[in-house]
Amino acid sequence: MKLSIIGTGYVGLVSGACFAEMGNEVHCVDTDEAKISLLRSGGIPIYEPGLEKLVKANVDRGTLLFTTSIQEAMAKTDIAFIAVGTPPGEDGSADLKYVLQVAKSIGEHMGHRMIVVNKSTVPIGTADKVTRVIRGELDRRGSDLEFSVVSNPEFLKEGMAVADCMSPDRVVIGTDDERVIKVMEELYAPFQIKRPRVVFMDVRSAEMTKYAANAMLATKISFMNEMAGICEKVGADVNKVRIGIGSDSRIGFSFIYPGCGYGGSCFPKDVQALIRIADQSGHEPRILAAVERVNDDQKRVLAQKIAVRFGEDLNGKVFALWGLAFKPGTDDMREAPSLTIVEELVRRGAKIRAYDPQATKQARDVYLKGNEGVEYFSSKYDALDGVDAMILVTEWNEFRSPDFPEMAKRMKGAIIFDGRNQYSTERLKDAGFEHFQIGVR
């Protein structure tokens, strides 16, 4: 099939590369000329395991093409995926500006019957808005071309996006058009060789499914962090509680690890947007509001523990921070807990020596740009030299079993604030460390 993917951000680029890998001809469109030039050369603007190799292979094969011209892409393809960002507005609702701009461009340049697919995470009812915008442009042109608007939300996990796209848990498609159903079944057939994965439903249910899925996962994280807070107060160990409840097959172990809060491009934005959707529909989203409050508070827990241990005035104190990205396997720092932790410690007068395997450039050039309280290092051990304590924020694999004697030699204070409960207290005690965890008194 011949597809256009409009937007070469995280979702668009991964989806485009995976569709091309399955033999489709994919035209990816973006207005950023520098990004398109990079992509044409086989490079990528983000870090995602396996993606660069996939992009380069399909660029070389001629199945993955990049352009700044939506008109060019429309002329050559029959299915157009909208995969642009929907950033949160001031009130937390999803901003549809870019989605509707793309819809307008599709209406302006469409020259034959097309299927338009919303891949972006969009509020319920967006397909209707996209339909109206495209139809308005066609009417303005005096055209009676037929088209269908489909909801096909993405469920990619950063750090595992290529694997998720190539072998998805499910593919949700919202449409009531029988012709479209057949086309989408054919498009996704190569992704479901082992078992059926496509779930068809009405458009609004498909739009809601993406929000409900992310809200559910965010709820599990905040619930476990709530339990961690209670455990600290009553003298229980949340690590043992996690095993106790996770062993129940109805609960499971996924997303019940206590920590310093969730971040990234999806959970914070989607929870906020769903809260706004509920408010606008006249429903009070009490659970979702609590999920968001708990997460906001959880991002400050490590800084509070540090202030209890060292005092509120941290002038003269230096801390190593391991991990800047919101999760391992990505360089994404959107809404990362590290940002709140750094802000809280620097505000109290501390200096930070930071290390992350992938996110340092994002931190230095964008998210912590100009913050003179932070210094960056290319080695996790070099970041430890002379520090009063180490703070573990992101659970990268290389942090799981470090050389504790080497750490003790480099650090002024043998203290670890373990924001992901990665380490055994007994092991750290044997190595001479104080160990502070989430959810353990």
Rounded to 10 deg, the angle between the 301-310 and 337-347 helix axes is: 30
Alpha carbons 25 and 13: distance in angstroms, whole number: 14
* Other Cβ atoms within 10 Å of 285 Cβ, number: 18
Alpha carbons 109 and 75: distance in angstroms, whole number: 8
- Dihedral of CA atoms 114, 118, 124, 126 in degrees, nearest 10, equals -60
* Other Cβ atoms within 10 Å of 332 Cβ, number: 24
- Dihedral of CA atoms 264, 266, 268, 273 in degrees, nearest 10, equals 160
Q: List the 351-355 sheet strands across, edge first.
A: 374-376, 351-355, 318-322, 389-392, 415-418, 434-437
| Residue type at position 268 | P
Q: What is the CA radius of gyration of the chain?
A: 24
Alpha carbons 177 and 413: distance in angstroms, whole number: 65
Between the CA of residue 410 and those of 116, 184, 378, what are the distances in Å?
57, 57, 16
Active site residues: 266
Q: Which of 410, 418, 405, 414 is nearest to 382 (CA)?
A: 410
Alpha carbons 20 and 64: distance in angstroms, whole number: 6
| Residue type at position 316 | G
Q: Quote the tokens at residue 144.
A: 């009676």
Residues ≥6 apart with Cβ < 8 Å to 127: 118, 149, 150, 151, 174, 203, 204, 207
Cα atoms in the 13 Å half-sphere on the side-chain side of 90: 0
Alpha carbons 73 and 58: distance in angstroms, whole number: 17
* Other Cβ atoms within 10 Å of 76 Cβ, number: 13
Cα atoms in the 13 Å half-sphere on the side-chain side of 425: 11
Residues ≥6 apart with Cβ < 8 Å to 382: 355
